[in-house]
Amino acid sequence: MPICSYLVLTEPGATTAVADRLERMPRCDVVRAKNRDLLLLVTDTPGLREEETLRSRIEATEGIQALLLTFGEVVPGASNQGPSASVDR
């Protein structure tokens, strides 16, 4: 069960809209920074395939300028290929 956290840098003025879109996605928890256009996103999925699918949906979200993986934990015994994040769309 992968658990990942990401920093989500939004385009100017898009933070609220991006947060709303991400909060509607299953298996996503969003924390909004109080004084910056920045979001912390935590995902919790049953497996690597689901994490990769979810990450692809997140990366395609309009208004995201950059998505940075800050932490990823994968259950022992799973594939050695951990989740990755793309930077600067």
In Å, what is the CA distance from 68 to each residue of 33, 76, 77, 78? 15, 23, 25, 22
Tally of domains within the chain: 1
Domain of residue 55 covers: 3-73
pLDDT 10s digits, 2-49: 899 999 999 999 999 999 999 999 999 999 998 888 999 999 999 889
- CATH number of domain containing 50: 3.30.70.920
pLDDT grade for 1, boundaries at 50, 70 and 90 = confident
Q: Is a pLDDT exceeding 90 seen at residue 85?
A: no
Q: Does residue 36 lie within any of the structural domains?
A: yes
**pTM for this entry:** 0.79
